Amino acid sequence: MSKMNTEVRRRRTFAIISHPDAGKTTLTEKLLLFGGAIQLAGEVKARGARRRARSDWMKVEQERGISVTASVMRFEFDGCAFNLLDTPGHQDFSEDTYRTLTAVDSAIMVLDAAKGIEAQTLKLFEVCRLRDIPIITFINKMDRESLDPFELLDQIEQTLALDVVPVSWPIGMGQHFAGCYDLFNDQILLMKKGSGPGEEAEVCKELDDPRIINAVKPDLLEEFKGQLEMAQGLFPEFDQNAYREGHMTPVFFGSAINNFGVKEILQGIADHAPSPRPQKALEREVKAEESKVSGFVFKIQANMDPKHRDRVAFFRLCSGHFKRGQKLRHIRSDKTINIHNPMLFLAQSRALAEDAWPGDILGIPNHGNLRIGDTLTEGETLHYTGIPSFAPELMQKVRPDDPMRSKHLGKTLRQLGEEGAARVFKTFMGGDWVIGVLGALQFEVLADRIRTEYNIPVHFESTTLFTARWIEADDHRVLKKFHDANQASIAADHDDQPVFLSRNAWHLDTTIEEWPDIRFLKTKEQNPG
Ligand code: G4P
């Protein structure tokens, strides 16, 4: 097999989706622990704390105790190279999460065993479904009082319209949780509550093993045997194709905090999750094994280190073997970029990437020339598709405390708009800056960033605006006519694309009805061409 095929086949690029508090951070940490990327549990949080201590660029993150930034973590397990893309769990930052999901090939869905599917799980699942992202389910916190396993599986099946296949079956729950039956290998894993890899479970081959008799009360064991028999008869066989097409989800039970079930889920991804999938571009579908390098930017993070005012573009390599120093064509500007200091993200640090393979995520430092949705290739004209920009749900005007700084503010807002941190509009009449976001917390994050990163104190003022729609028409004269008739409701986004700002739902609906030749777009593809 060629080196390219070997490297593509061993890569797994995935994300974890969950409702806040289900245990995503804990599972992430344990995956890194089992993948040998960190030595001690607790380091993920420590890393966060250290990073925050180094800079104050995300005071809000500190104050609110939420994670608002996505990062990438890299580790190896069982011969596979894993790229785990962290998705911010807070619902206010879902836009970033949606975009991160455009860069993965599969996902783990973490559920709290006591709660089952929650609002945010459902939202994120729907994004995965849109992109046919295969999902492995991890039902966490079995060491707490939980819902009945049949009820949990039924909920997944009914709510998500997915076939479910239990890979393991829990023995007891809450304080009686003793471990799981491994349905794929017909063996029993008894939980040991150890502190690290190798210490989490004892393997028993038979149900009458004295260790099981010792650990599990007789009535509980009887109940479990009944459930197991039922489960074995009730659920379909695991079908890898159905999973990879997104119709079936294998389900693991466990307790991340006790390391239990973590190795199994890693093994599950290594054995079944897809390696880098073909990616759709406007022009054609691109296979990972193709020899020429190509990929797209799905996230921009500015000022990761405020001393350097850097911006890092997160670039998903879709095809080819990338080497440091390679010159790539930036399709939007048709310029060549020399990628001489690409970064790989390890659990605790960044390192210079000497090379990278399809599925890998590179951090490309730049000064604002790279934007979300941009494609880079070795020469071919390609535009990767499917990276959305969403219509905002909340809009406020932003003004500098010192009016003399308004020109600087304009520049700053444009940068933030390019970065994808918020929608930024300049009204046609009055020249006001209007910021549109999906969640109210984003205003605070932005005000804080504008203050600390750009040194411009600002305040937000509420508006009566309802939402924004990007407007398009085949005939530019129609667009001009619309513009002239609705001057007070027209603005431009950071790319100077026209948008319609509606005052309320009625205003939007009647305008759409009145102007059938205008397309009112709720999402804008980032830089489609
Ligand atoms: P999130 O990233 O999805 O928001 O969840 P996170 O991992 O932070 O976990 C949320 C809470 O649930 C944490 O408790 C965590 O310790 C706990 N937890 C995670 N996995 C398990 C599990 O398998 N069993 C039990 N019993 N608890 C689990 P916390 O008190 O909010 O935080 P902390 O003080 O432990 O850091």
Same domain, 370 and 428: no
Model pLDDT, residue 309: 61
Q: Is the CB of 20 under 6 A from ligand 1?
A: yes
Same domain, 356 and 439: no
pLDDT tens profile 56-92: 334 444 444 333 344 788 889 999 999 999 776 555 5
Model pLDDT, residue 525: 66
Q: What are phi and psi of 421, to 5 degrees?
A: -70, -25
383 part of a folded domain: no
Angle between helices 262-272 and 24-34 (to 10 degrees): 70
Residues of the chain with pLDDT under 50: 47-70, 527-529
Closest CA to 191 of 182, 203, 183, 200: 200
Query: Which residues is 190 bridged to in the sheet?
Result: 179, 202
**Last residue in a domain, options 309, 342, 377:** 377
25 CA to centre of ligand 1 in angstroms: 8
Same domain, 264 and 286: no
**HEC string for 371-391:** CCCCEEECCCCCCECCCEEEC
Model pLDDT, residue 171: 96
Best probe residue, ligand 1, of 173, 180, 257 (max atoms within 8 Å of C-beta): 257
Query: Which residues is 427 bridged to in the sheet?
Result: 491
Closest CA to 454 of 419, 413, 508, 420: 413
74 part of a folded domain: yes
Model pLDDT, residue 304: 60
> Given the CA of residue 29, which atom of ligand 1 is nearest to it?
7
Q: Are strands 327-330 and 375-377 parallel, antiparallel or unpaired?
A: antiparallel
Same domain, 243 and 190: yes
Model pLDDT, residue 63: 45
Best probe residue, ligand 1, of 17, 19, 21, 180 (max atoms within 8 Å of C-beta): 21
**Last residue in a domain, options 254, 272, 290:** 272
127 part of a folded domain: yes
285 part of a folded domain: yes
Same domain, 451 and 497: yes
Q: Is 401 exposed, middle or buried (0-12, 13-18, 19+ CB in 10 A)?
A: exposed
Model pLDDT, residue 267: 96
Closest CA to 379 of 340, 343, 337, 342: 337
Same domain, 40 and 174: yes
Same domain, 261 and 284: no
Same domain, 48 and 194: yes
Same domain, 124 and 254: yes
Nearest CA residue ID for atom 15, ligand 1: 23
**Last residue in a domain, options 377, 407, 423:** 377
> Given the CA of residue 140, which atom of ligand 1 is nearest to it?
23
Query: Which residues is 77 bridged to in the sheet?
Result: 80
Are the CB atoms for 366 and 300 separated by under 8 Å?
no
Q: Is the CB of 332 under 6 A from ligand 1?
A: no
Model pLDDT, residue 528: 42
512 part of a folded domain: yes
Model pLDDT, residue 348: 54
Tokens of 485: 């008739």
Q: How far apart are CA 146 and CA 174, in angstroms?
A: 7
pTM for this prediction? 0.84
Same domain, 106 and 189: yes
345 part of a folded domain: yes
Provide the CATH number for the domain around residue 142: 3.40.50.300
Q: Is the CB of 257 under 6 A from ligand 1?
A: yes
Question: How many contiguous H segments (helices) and E segments (strands) does the chain have?
Answer: 15, 33
Query: Which residues is 209 bridged to in the sheet?
Result: none
Same domain, 264 and 314: no
Same domain, 187 and 58: yes
352 part of a folded domain: yes
342 part of a folded domain: yes
Model pLDDT, residue 177: 95
Are the CB atoms for 41 and 29 separated by under 8 Å?
yes
Count CB neighbours of 300 within 10 A.
Answer: 23
Best probe residue, ligand 1, of 19, 26, 30, 176 (max atoms within 8 Å of C-beta): 26
Length of the chain, please?
529
Model pLDDT, residue 424: 93
Q: In terms of residue numbers, what domain contains 123?
A: 3-272
Number of folded domains that form the chain = 3
